[in-house]
Amino acid sequence: MNFRTMFEPKTMAVIGLSLQNERHPANIIYNKNFFRYPVKVYPVNPRGGIYHKEKVFTSVSEIPEMVDLAIIAVRSEYVPGILEECINSGVGGAAVISGGFAESGNAALQERMVKTAKEAYFPFIGPNCLGIYSSNQVDTFFLPSERMVRPEAGKVSIVSQSGGILVDQMVKFAQQGVGLSRAISIGNKAVVRELELLRFLARDKKTAVIAFYVEGFNKSEGREFALAAGRCPKPVIVMKAGKSPGGSRAVTSHTASIAGDYAVFSSVMSQFGIVEARDEFEMVSFCESLSCYPVGIEGRVGIITASGGHGAVAVDTCAGAGLQVPPVPAAVQNQIRKKLSDNIQPIASIGNPIDLTGSAKDNDFVVVASELSKWKEIDCLLVLLLPYIPEITSDVGARLSQVSQESEKPIVAYVPHVEKYRMIIEGFQLNNVPVSHSIEGAVLMVEAMRRCRPC
């Protein structure tokens, strides 16, 4: 199946537009794409008419050019017939927003749709979903524009069975400064499933990291997915619902999925180097980290801080995550101490963590990062930056980023997310260094790289 025209459509039909209800899902989808995105949008309603001075077509077959993507937002019983019409009219693919199928006990109606689509090799997303969001290209989510939170365009693509979870992730991405390429809500995933989207996104030039929220797989499908994800040249992150018996029941009622044995699932993910996120917080941290550093590390961390307390908390957090914080040898300590500012040479603690104290300057952080980057016993640096200490400037983020670029050794930063520190944070993020507003989040970013290594 070719998904390119679905995710980057030049023409789109919105089927089910209402001439009376401006808040109807089809109207919301039509209006936001008509006014905001570079796609030619055609409204469709069997009654025809005029909508905001635009002709409303009575069917897809009336539209005077080929349609790349059809959005179907009508009552469930009408969907199979509309799918057939789309196929006969040469439409490239569809997103079926409508609910009322297998998730509500109407499996026969869904099977009818699947049979029609598969016989014609016609791809559709859904049903019971939000559909497709491609940054700066198309948005089929039936959420009003004024309520949508859109992350900056970036390199992460997310596939989710739950539309609500997906929208929450987009909010968190925007808050954390994680760039998004595509967000795909697949709902009941009647035809287009995780495996097909994994294969597409693995080849997609606009995607560097692929994340999934999964509720369940069909029999043997999970194994095939794991094998494909293990072969994928890009990092794959998976968050799985249905871990508990109650969660499994909720999954079944939500999208009619089979949750499966979570312990087996988790073990297989780890075996193939697929990064499992245990919750939404981990998902965001992992996506940001791996979009900057799509690499696997052993997890030997060098910690640089201006506060002994922060260093101690970071060491404990690393230990809890299974990361190592190896002591710095005396020879390396001496080399570092000689290059520090005169005022902190006698008071800095050069072990690991390295505590530069509240008297440190930008150059002290840069010197230590440069020296630790040369040490082979460390494969990642964790910089705990306290921007309120007197001699730190807004240049420190960009300068430390340069160290990472030159040494090719990952740096992860902790900076409190307060607006007055925005320039420091952007100095990191604009230079492809991930930043967390908590020590726990920063350690999770390191852990993501370690989990990328197959067992």
Looking at the 3D structure of the chain, how many domains does it have?
A: 3
The size of the chain, in residues, is 455
Cα(425)–Cα(394) distance, integer angstroms = 9
Instruction: Domain of residue 302: give its range.
Output: 296-442
Structure tokens, 47: 């009654």
* φ/ψ (deg, to 5) at 30: -60, -50
Per residue in 16-71, pLDDT tens?
999 999 999 999 999 999 999 999 999 999 999 999 999 999 999 999 999 999 99
On whether both 274 and 244 belong to a single domain, the answer is: yes
On whether both 300 and 438 belong to a single domain, the answer is: yes
- Among 95, 128, 161, where does a domain finish? 128
Cα(138)–Cα(93) distance, integer angstroms = 14
Within-domain flag for 141: no
Structure tokens, 379: 């494969």
Q: Taking the model in full, what pTM does it have?
A: 0.91
Within-domain flag for 341: yes
Which residues make Cβ contacts (< 8 Å) with residue 172, sequence separation at least 6?
178, 280, 281, 284
* φ/ψ (deg, to 5) at 56: -100, 120
Distance of CA 441 to the CA centre of its chain: 16
* φ/ψ (deg, to 5) at 203: -100, -10
On whether both 312 and 211 belong to a single domain, the answer is: no
Span between the terminal Cα atoms of the chain, in Å: 33
- Among 260, 279, 294, where does a domain finish? 294
223-226, long-range: CB < 8 A, 24+ apart: 223/268, 224/195, 225/194, 225/195, 225/198, 226/268, 226/269, 226/271, 226/272, 226/274
Give how far Cα 364 sits from Cα of 135, 219, 353, Å: 40, 56, 14
What does the pLDDT read at residue 219?
84
- Rounded to 5°, angle at Cα 151 from 150 and 152: 120
On whether both 57 and 172 belong to a single domain, the answer is: no
On whether both 197 and 232 belong to a single domain, the answer is: yes
Q: Which CATH number belongs to the domain containing residue 121 in this structure?
A: 3.40.50.720
- Rounded to 5°, angle at Cα 62 from 59 and 64: 140
The DSSP letter of residue 103 is: G
Within-domain flag for 447: no
On whether both 208 and 264 belong to a single domain, the answer is: yes
Location of structure tokens 């039936």: 142
What does the pLDDT read at residue 424?
93
On whether both 170 and 243 belong to a single domain, the answer is: yes
Q: Which CATH number belongs to the domain containing residue 361 in this structure?
A: 3.40.50.261
Within-domain flag for 134: no
Structure tokens, 402: 């340069």
The runs of H, that is alpha helices, within 353-409 are 362-374, 396-407
Q: Which residues pair with residue 153 across a beta bridge?
A: 180
On whether both 160 and 279 belong to a single domain, the answer is: yes
Within-domain flag for 133: no
Torsion of CA 175, 180, 182, 188, to 10 degrees: -30
For residues 241 and 247, is the Cβ–Cβ distance under 8 A? yes
Element (H, E) at 196: helix 194-203
Cα(178)–Cα(424) distance, integer angstroms = 16
On whether both 231 and 308 belong to a single domain, the answer is: no
On whether both 305 and 438 belong to a single domain, the answer is: yes
Per residue in 266-278, pLDDT tens?
888 888 889 999 9
Cα(278)–Cα(289) distance, integer angstroms = 16
- Find, among 130, 185, 129, the residue nearest to 157 by Cα: 185
Structure tokens, 136: 């700066």
On whether both 113 and 236 belong to a single domain, the answer is: no
Within-domain flag for 451: no
Cα(183)–Cα(168) distance, integer angstroms = 11
On whether both 183 and 317 belong to a single domain, the answer is: no
- Rounded to 5°, angle at Cα 231 from 229 and 234: 70
- Among 128, 161, 190, where does a domain finish? 128
Within-domain flag for 235: yes
Within-domain flag for 393: yes
User: With a cut of 50, which residues of the chain have pLDDT below it?
Assistant: 244, 246-259
Burial grade of 346 (CB within 10 A; 0-12, 13-18, 19 or more): exposed
